[in-house]
Amino acid sequence: MRGLLRLRDMSGIGWRPLLSVVLLMGVVWPTVTACTPESGGVAGMTLDRAGRPAVVVAWCPGKAPDSIYLYTSDDLAPEVTIRLQAPAKFPGKMIEVPITSPPVGWTADPPAPVLDSARVYSVYAPVTGSEYTSRGPRFTLGRLRGDGWILVNEYDQEIDRYVDLYIRAADLVRRADC
């Protein structure tokens, strides 16, 4: 106890501020270390047959998404978020949805999404009412390809950063990691 008192006297810090810091860390630490939502699939980007940017989503059984979110992930203003809402859970194991022209029955917010070729975007497809989500790549419109090539990002340990990969639909389904 004397060592503690001596430390208190030497540092000029009382035990109450120290207790406050410890309690605050007990509240903040779980939030800081919280995990991202569990993966329920994977999303990629492509150009559809009409040359429009499209999200391609593949998911695990029982984890079908019902919406797609595309948002700016750069430092430019204004921040943009586009939400595409399906009338029900996605059918099957994979779906391709043009962003600027969603299928009949879908709703878009904003109603007529427009993408800027100078912006960087990210995409994900969550499963409403659960912790599952299908994460997609960061991309610019200029990095998208057509002819069945789907852009995904993959972490490369050798260079310690994410790199672009162009894969086919069958590979996207395998990457859903079910």
pLDDT at 164: 95
What average pLDDT does the chain have? 82
**How much of the chain exceeds pLDDT 70, in percent?**
78
Q: Is the pLDDT of residue 3 over 70?
A: no
- The CATH number of whichever domain residue 142 belongs to comes to 2.60.40
Say yes or no: 12 and 71 in one domain. no
Query: What is the residue whose two structure tokens read 């419109």?
Result: 141
Say yes or no: 87 and 150 in one domain. yes
Q: Is the separation of the CB atoms in 12 and 105 below 8 Å?
A: no
Say yes or no: 16 and 93 in one domain. no
Say yes or no: 139 and 88 in one domain. yes
- Please tell me the distance from the alpha carbon of residue 55 to that of residue 82, in angstroms, as a whole number: 12
- Please tell me the distance from the alpha carbon of residue 115 to that of residue 127, in angstroms, as a whole number: 24
Say yes or no: 133 and 69 in one domain. yes
pLDDT digits (tens, 9 = 90+) for 53-89: 999 999 988 888 999 999 999 999 999 999 999 999 8
What is the mean pLDDT of the segment spanning 13-42?
Answer: 47
Say yes or no: 19 and 78 in one domain. no
pLDDT at 112: 86
Q: CB within 8 A of 106, min separation 6: which ones?
A: 84, 85, 86, 87, 97
Q: Is the separation of the CB atoms in 164 and 153 below 8 Å?
A: yes
Q: Which residue has the higher pLDDT, 154 or 4?
A: 154
Q: Is the pLDDT of residue 29 over 70?
A: no
Say yes or no: 65 and 48 in one domain. yes
Q: What predicted TM-score, i.e. pTM, was given to this entire model?
A: 0.76
pLDDT digits (tens, 9 = 90+) for 39-55: 678 999 999 999 999 99
Say yes or no: 112 and 158 in one domain. yes
Residue range of the domain that includes 20? 2-32
Q: CB within 8 A of 69, min separation 6: which ones?
A: 81, 82, 83, 84, 123, 124, 125, 126
Q: Is the pLDDT of residue 5 over 60?
A: no
pLDDT digits (tens, 9 = 90+) for 126-150: 987 777 788 899 999 999 999 999 9
pLDDT at 38: 67
pLDDT at 46: 98
Say yes or no: 68 and 132 in one domain. yes
